[in-house]
Amino acid sequence: MVDLSLVTALVTNLKTAIDIGKTVKEITDISQVRDKVIEMQELILSAQSSAMAAQTQLFEVLQDNAELKHKAAAVDEWAATASRYQLRDFGAGTFAYELRPDAANGEPPHRLCPTCFEQRKRSLLQFIGHTASDQDFYKCIPCAQDYFFGARQSRPAPKRTVSRSSFWEGY
Ligand SMILES: [Zn+2]
């Protein structure tokens, strides 16, 4: 915010200096003229100081304005990106953001990391493979988070045959 009192002081000082200048031509005493010139110089210097301070404040306001415009543009840009995705349950309460088919714009189907999404980052999950419990294993490269989608299928544990002789070998 520009301090308006600086502008007021600037205008007042310049006006006073002009008024003094108008009276100088009527003064015949050279010492009085010199005093008036000194007075005018002080007023002009003070006005110049006020102008510089106001200019600095104006520059700060312009910088703040540019920064706010940049932030507003980033918010708008993220809102447009986020609107292309929807949160989906991939089974058993395993969630990720998925590209909406009607907003694909030619991009292939993909999932986004929900953690990065909440931080306004578009991080694509990379498919790693299927787990032994039939879940889809994805990884978010930027935040290094692993995701397992779908219900965990329990498989019968492989039978472990321990022969009596090998079992007792250590004893
Ligand atoms: Zn992530």
Domain ranges of the chain: 4-81, 85-149
Give dist(CA 73, CA 75) in Å, integer: 5
- Rounded to the nearest angstrom, the distance between the alpha carbon of 107 and the centre of ligand 1 is 20
If pLDDT is split at 50, 70 and 90, which confidence band does 2 have? confident
User: Which of these, 103, 124, 128, 102, lies nearest to 113 by C-alpha position?
Assistant: 124
Residue 120 tokens read as 């306004």
Task: In whole angstroms, give the CA distance from residue 61 to residue 158.
Answer: 71
Report whether 145 contacts 137 (CB < 8 A): no
Q: 50-92: per-residue pLDDT in tens?
A: 999 999 999 999 999 999 999 999 999 999 999 999 999 999 9
The pLDDT tens digits of the residues spanning 83-125 come to 999 999 999 999 999 999 999 999 999 999 999 999 999 999 9
Provide the pLDDT for residue 162. 54
pLDDT score recorded for residue 163: 52
CB 53 within 8 A of CB 6: yes
Q: What is the pTM of this model?
A: 0.64
Distance 110 CA to ligand 1 centre (A): 14
State in Å: Cα 54 to ligand 1 middle.
46
Task: Give φ, ψ of 22 to 5 degrees.
Answer: -65, -30
**Interatomic CA distance for residues 127 and 124, integer angstroms:** 10
Give the confidence band of 169 by pLDDT, cuts at 50, 70, 90: very low
Q: Compute the distance from residue 132 Cα to the ligand 1 centre, in Å.
A: 24
Q: Is the pLDDT confidence value at 167 over 70?
A: no
Instruction: Tell how far the Cα of 79 is from the centroid of ligand 1, in angstroms.
Output: 18
Q: What share of the chain is helix, strand, coil (3-state, %, to 5)?
A: 50, 15, 35
- Calculate the average pLDDT of the chain: 90
CA of 126 to the centre of ligand 1 (A): 11
Q: What is the pLDDT of residue 52?
A: 93
- Considering just the CA atoms, what is the radius of gyration of the chain in Å? 38
